């Protein structure tokens, strides 16, 4: 049997533990009440909550920034695709391209759009290169300086200066001084050099490819030979009055796909000497 002292010690210990437990429960209850009053009733935030809210706000800001960047890139791609379909592809006679539309933007969707746009540009590149070559071959500059040249006869029907009868004129006549330099109006190959006293007199025909040919007639002298490769702005002859001619002038023709066309639609007859000088010098 337990001694009285030991029994009394045990009872005292149990009593102390009971008081301690009740104190713990009261403290816990007080903390809960304090927490509820602190956070719910008065709206105060705990340090942990403040930290979480700050982190959430930072993530929201980063997400908004990323969404804004996606939207700007998407807008730029849309502008490029519109230029592609409305300007570039029609200019080269190519069909338009349909780009996918998305309800919402993602990195994957954006990558797909970029790949599609790059594919379109890769398709355009060789066509554009070919058109670049065509642009150099099109007879798009005047065949001589125009500042002291007179346009004496236009393209179309006119009264023939020799007979007076109405007759079709297949080019334009540009009158000037004998010896005036004549220039190739586009890149090409000299197809014909004729020296004679009738008709066109001394003449040069250049085949520019892509359906274009040009004729330079009534020349005083020819400075090229059949088979020569010429560049736009190369000097090919001198103005004269050979063949069927009433005075020194250049009879200039442009032919496209076998048809004679008005040369004046291919160049600006108001071009200044400085502008023309830059064209023929390639500067």
pLDDT tens-digit map of 176-219: 999 999 999 999 999 999 999 889 999 999 999 888 999 999 99
All structural domains of the chain with their residue ranges: 47-137, 150-281
Task: Note the pLDDT of residue 268.
Answer: 66
Closest Cα partner for 265 from 256, 273, 275, 276? Answer: 256
Q: Which residues are CB-neighbours of 114 under 8 A, at least 6 positions away?
A: 77
Kind plus residue range of the DSSP H or E element containing 72: helix 47-83
Measured CA to CA, the distance from residue 110 to residue 6 in angstroms comes to 82
What percent helix, strand, coil does the chain show, rounded to 5? Answer: 45, 20, 35
Residue pair 272/238 in contact by the 8 Å Cβ criterion? no
pTM: 0.56
Task: Note the pLDDT of residue 85.
Answer: 72
Q: Which residues are CB-neighbours of 156 under 8 A, at least 6 positions away?
A: 168, 169, 262
Measured CA to CA, the distance from residue 275 to residue 266 in angstroms comes to 16
Selected residue with higher pLDDT from 6 and 228: 228
The CATH number of the structural domain formed by 150-281 is: 2.70.70.10
Task: Note the pLDDT of residue 38.
Answer: 56
Measured CA to CA, the distance from residue 30 to residue 24 in angstroms comes to 10
């Amino acid at each position: 049997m337990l001694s009285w002292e030991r029994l009394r010690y045990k009872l005292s210990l149990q009593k102390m533990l009971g008081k301690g437990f009740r104190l713990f429960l009261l403290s816990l209850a007080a903390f809960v009440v304090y927490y509820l009053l602190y956070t719910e009733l008065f709206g105060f935030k705990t340090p942990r909550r403040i930290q979480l809210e700050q982190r959430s706000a930072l993530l929201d800001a980063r997400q908004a920034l990323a969404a804004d960047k996606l939207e700007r890139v998407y807008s730029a791609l849309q502008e490029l695709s519109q230029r592609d379909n409305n300007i570039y592809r029609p200019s080269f006679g190519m069909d338009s391209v349909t780009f996918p539309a998305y309800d919402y933007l993602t990195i994957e969707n954006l990558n797909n759009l970029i790949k599609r746009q790059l594919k379109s540009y890769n398709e355009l590149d060789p066509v554009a290169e070919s058109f670049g070559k065509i642009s150099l071959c099109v007879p798009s500059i005047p065949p001589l300086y125009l500042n002291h040249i007179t346009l004496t006869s236009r393209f179309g029907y006119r009264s023939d200066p020799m007979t007076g009868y109405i007759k079709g004129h297949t080019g334009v006549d540009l009158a000037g001084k004998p010896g005036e330099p004549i220039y190739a109006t586009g890149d090409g190959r000299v197809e014909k050099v004729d020296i004679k006293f009738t008709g066109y007199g001394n003449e040069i025909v250049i085949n520019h490819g892509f359906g274009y040919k040009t004729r330079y007639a009534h020349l005083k002298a020819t400075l090229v030979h059949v088979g020569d490769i010429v560049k736009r702005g190369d000097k090919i002859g001198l103005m004269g009055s050979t063949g069927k001619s009433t005075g020194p002038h250049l009879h200039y023709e442009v032919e496209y796909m076998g048809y004679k066309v008005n040369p004046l639609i291919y160049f600006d007859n108001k071009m200044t000497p400085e502008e023309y000088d830059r064209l023929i010098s390639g500067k």
